[in-house]
Amino acid sequence: MQLNENRTKHILIVEDEGLIAADVQKKLERLGYPIPAVAQSGMEALRCARSTPFDLVLMDIRLKGAMDGIATAQALKAEFEVPVVYLTAHADQDTIDRAKRTEPLGYILKPTTDGDLRSVVQISLYRHEMERRVRTSEAWLSTTLSSVGDGIIATDTAGEIVFMNPVAEKLTGWSGTDGHGRLLMDILALFEESSGQPAKNPMSDLFPGESRSYRLIPKNGTDTVVEVQCFENRLPAISMQPTPPMAAARSLGPDTAADGPAASRPVDDLLGAIVVLRDTTARRQMEGSLVQSQRMEAVANMAGGLAHDFNNQLAVILGYAEEFCARLEGEDKEAALEIKRAASMASAITGQLLMLSRRSEVRFEVLNVNEVIGEVQPMISHSLGKIRTLVTDLGSPEGFVRSDRNQLKRVLLNLALNARDAMSTSGELRIESATVEIEPDSQEARLYRPGQFVRLRVADTGEGMDKATLARIFEPFFSTKKAGFGTGLGLSIAHSIIVQSQGYIRAESEIGHGTSFEILLPCVGTFRRIGDVTGSEGSDSEDPTPTVLLVEDEDAVRRLMHKFLEREGYQLLEARNAEAAEALAEVYQGPIHVLVTDVLMPGMTGPELVARLLPLRPGMKTLFVSGYRHDVTEPHGLSRDDLNVLPKPFPAAELLRRVRMLLGQGTRLVQ
């Protein structure tokens, strides 16, 4: 150790004999260390350590007072993790055994020489630094393994578990504490995916780095399909040759001996094995959605071409049938009319093909999904008959989407008819609506694009279907009696309608547990009645609660303002941009008392929005919010006196004060 390195190390001497302490102090100074501190008792040593960090403590075992040197070393280690070297004249076995339990870094017998002191101090400081680096490395490794998205299980050479990260704990249902020391296959309930038979130990059945899919049944919960890989954990400094699975069975425990090939190399460098578990559910769902989308796109293209050719031929058939009907009499005319009726039915089928190809005429409008469900509810109830029950759960806030009203009704009716066929006797059909937010870093973002959506869920208590049937239900004319489907284009058309509205539709089912369809449509905006929050009558009362249209493209800012205004007791219409706000204002039938809008947004600006809405809503007041310190440009039709700008950032009280001022209110609406 170099002299300049010594000068950075601070040493504490704990010795109740003053002459001995002074002698050790001088020896350390000669070795180049700063003047060491001296403590004469255990309590004094603790006080010194609390005021000054030390790199090493030279501790006399026999100290006067309530704490001897060994007790003091235990206290220092527990509180500061400071390394200790014992400095004593006592070398009896009992003292050494008691001192060993405190894990000292060294032991020097009195009287000491400069050489003994130099070697013990230098080796102890070096050893402590190496141990600190190892602990740091272990902490980094543990944090890394805990944060990865795959399950990690480490075993020792006996096949017993020594580490499990949180993902592995979640997949297996075992905590790391409960799993520690158990054999791998005691907690890893693996089954072959194809046959369903219990799987062999992957450490003996897989080559290093080879992956295979299994069905994993956790301790608690539902089974999961996982991809398993195994790796040998060996000392990195030793050169190794490739070998078949996971070393000799004798080195990895009794449950690995049955089927693995014998190892062909020594295992002295083997530390154990690493098992990696990867949940493939999301990946398979994404792959399945992609395959289904590609298949439906191909079907849509084919349907469009067929419809075009059929319509050309049907036009000829219908034209001649019309001419024959006008010229013929009697039985010949009846035959011509049958031809005309058949051609008309074929024309209706080509209309369905055009809808399937997404080339039919679509009338997009902004719709309140809850209102659409209410409009189609009587038809669905009638189609279910008396033995089946319809239950609706329409969530708040109400979500607005851009779609074709009649086509959206057709989707719901098609799903209801299929549910009716799946419930041959009694049963329940449940229709739910809700607004959901898909965050960019969420698991749902693997399947859907991030953003705000209106979610429709149509679920039945029918027989359900297996995975093979579930994978084909959106195919045209696919039929299965067990699933309750007849031949036709109903679900195929429903899929095309939702895709044409920039949405998603997927199905989940299990034999004996019914089927549920989930539809996600991009949310244009929302409306929350105060009655949904407080239980009051809200806008239906004699004194209607003011409605605020909130327009803000920054999600976090909009959510915060929504919270402030809702807590104050206002009914809220909410939109992410000016275009969506304009569409909401056009379809919303009630009054809009106050518009709160950002000034600068992508596309249409806040002032431009006001200019478009004022002719439709002449009594509406406007509050602009802006993160820029500038005057708001006067839009067409607005005077300077009409402009009311609230600069960002702003407290809740100021936002509410401005809104109350526009409404002419001086008190809170909801106390």
Tens of pLDDT along 332-366?
A: 888 888 887 887 777 766 666 655 555 556 678 88
Domains in the chain: boundaries: 3-143, 148-279, 285-356, 364-524, 529-663
pLDDT band at 281 (very low <50, low <70, confident <90, very high): confident
Locate all alpha helices (DSSP H) within 159-260, ordered by sequence: 166-172, 176-179, 184-187, 202-205
From CA 96, how far away is CA 73, in angstroms rounded?
14
Any idea how long the chain is? 671
pLDDT at 364: 83
Domain 148-279 has CATH 3.30.450.20: yes
Class in CATH terms, 529-663: alpha beta
Return the structure tokens found at 85. 């070297």
pLDDT at 435: 92
From CA 277, how far away is CA 199, in angstroms rounded?
15
Locate all alpha helices (DSSP H) within 501-605, ordered by sequence: 530-534, 555-568, 578-587
Tens of pLDDT along 529-539?
A: 766 655 554 44
End-to-end CA distance of the chain: 74
C-beta atoms surrounding 670 within 10 Å: 13
What CATH number is given for 3-143 in this structure?
3.40.50.2300
pLDDT band at 237 (very low <50, low <70, confident <90, very high): low
pLDDT at 318: 80
- Whole-Å CA distances, 332 to 322, 324, 340, 342, 613: 13, 9, 12, 16, 63
From CA 427, how far away is CA 423, in angstroms rounded?
6
Return the structure tokens found at 395. 């969530």
Return the structure tokens found at 138. 């272990």
What are the DSSP calls for 265-290, one per residue? S--TTEEEEEEEEEE-HHHHHHHHHH
* Across 51-55, 324-328, 458-462, least confident range: 324-328
From CA 321, how far away is CA 340, in angstroms rounded?
5
Percent of the chain past pLDDT 70, that is, above it, reads 77
H/E element, 11: strand 11-14
Whether the pLDDT of residue 79 is over 80: the answer is: yes
Whether the pLDDT of residue 455 is over 90: the answer is: yes
From CA 559, how far away is CA 555, in angstroms rounded?
6
pTM of the predicted protein model: 0.53
Whether the pLDDT of residue 640 is over 50: the answer is: no
From CA 401, how far away is CA 365, in angstroms rounded?
8
The candidate with the shortest Cα–Cα distance to 588, out of 346, 312, 311, 367, is 367
Whether the pLDDT of residue 141 is over 80: the answer is: no
- Tell me, yes or no, if the two domains 3-143 and 529-663 fold the same way: yes
Return the structure tokens found at 210. 């080879």
Percent of the chain past pLDDT 90, that is, above it, reads 12
The candidate with the shortest Cα–Cα distance to 54, out of 26, 27, 31, 84, is 84
| Helices 652-663 + 555-568 axis angle, to 10 | 60
How would you classify the pairing of strands 451-460 and 515-528? antiparallel
pLDDT band at 581 (very low <50, low <70, confident <90, very high): very high
Greater confidence (241 vs 590) lies with 590
Q: Which CATH number fits domain 364-524: 3.30.930.10, 3.20.20.60, 3.30.565.10, 3.50.50.60?
A: 3.30.565.10
The 3-state DSSP class for residue 101 equals coil
H/E element, 515: strand 515-528
| Helices 42-51 + 69-80 axis angle, to 10 | 20
Whether the pLDDT of residue 540 is over 50: the answer is: no
Average pLDDT for 53-78: 86
Whether the pLDDT of residue 263 is over 60: the answer is: no
Average pLDDT for 50-79: 86
Contact yes or no for 509/516 (Cβ under 8 A): yes
The set of long-range contacts for 382-389, using a CB threshold of 8 Å and a minimum separation of 24, is 383/413, 383/416, 383/417, 383/420, 384/416, 384/420, 384/429, 385/420, 387/425, 387/426, 387/427, 388/420, 388/423, 388/426, 388/427, 388/428, 388/429, 389/426, 389/427, 389/428, 389/429
Whether the pLDDT of residue 279 is over 80: the answer is: yes
Using CA atoms of 124, 129, 134, 140 in order, give the dihedral in degrees to the nearest 10: 160
Cis peptide before 649 (omega within 30 of 0): yes
**What is the residue-averaged pLDDT of the chain?**
79
Q: Is 347 left (phi over 0), alpha (psi -120 to 50) or beta?
A: alpha
Whether the pLDDT of residue 488 is over 80: the answer is: no
pLDDT band at 647 (very low <50, low <70, confident <90, very high): confident
